[in-house]
Amino acid sequence: MDVQFLGGAGEIGRSAVLVDDRLLLDYGMASESPPQYPVGDVDPEAVVVSHGHLDHVGAVPALMGAGDLPPVHWTPPTRDLAVTLAEDTLKLHGSTPRCPFTETDVRRLTQASRTHGYGETFEAAGYEVTLYNAGHIPGSAHVLVDDGETRLLYTGDFHTGRQRLVEATTARPEADAVICESTYSDVTHEARESVEQQFVESIRQTVWQGGTVVVPAFAIGRTQEVMLVCAAHDVDCYLDGLASA
Cβ-based neighbour number of residue 105 at 10 Å:
21
Peptide bond into 44 cis (omega under 30): no
Min dist. Cβ of residue 205 to Zn ion (A) = 31
Min dist. Cβ of residue 50 to Zn ion (A) = 8
**Main-chain phi, psi angles of 229, to 5 degrees:** -65, -45
Cα–Cα distance for residue pair 50/138, rounded to 1 Å? 11
Min dist. Cβ of residue 53 to Zn ion (A) = 4
Is there binding between residue 105 and Zn ion (CB under 5 A)? no
Which one, 127 or 132, has the nearer CB to Zn ion? 132
If phi > 0 it is left, if psi is from -120 to 50 it is alpha, else beta; for residue 165 that is alpha
Which one, 49 or 152, has the nearer CB to Zn ion? 49
Cα–Cα distance for residue pair 15/88, rounded to 1 Å? 19
Quick one: DSSP state of residue 150?
-
Beta strand pairing status for 113-115 and 72-74? parallel
Is there binding between residue 157 and Zn ion (CB under 5 A)? yes
CA angle at 233 for the pair 227 and 239, rounded to the nearest 5°: 25
Min dist. Cβ of residue 111 to Zn ion (A) = 25
Min dist. Cβ of residue 136 to Zn ion (A) = 6
Range 31-70, binding Zn ion (CB under 5 A): 53
Which one, 52 or 125, has the nearer CB to Zn ion? 52
Beta bridge partners of 17: 5, 25
Helix axes 76-93 and 103-112, enclosed angle (nearest 10): 170
Which one, 26 or 157, has the nearer CB to Zn ion? 157
Which one, 178 or 207, has the nearer CB to Zn ion? 178
Cβ 40 vs Cβ 23: under 8 Å: no
Q: Which stretch binds Zn ion (CB under 5 A): 100-108, 149-157, 199-207, 233-241?
A: 149-157
Which one, 146 or 157, has the nearer CB to Zn ion? 157
Q: Which stretch binds Zn ion (CB under 5 A): 30-38, 76-84, 153-161, 173-181?
A: 153-161
Min dist. Cβ of residue 180 to Zn ion (A) = 14
Is there binding between residue 14 and Zn ion (CB under 5 A)? no
Residues that bind Zn ion (CB under 5 A): 53, 157
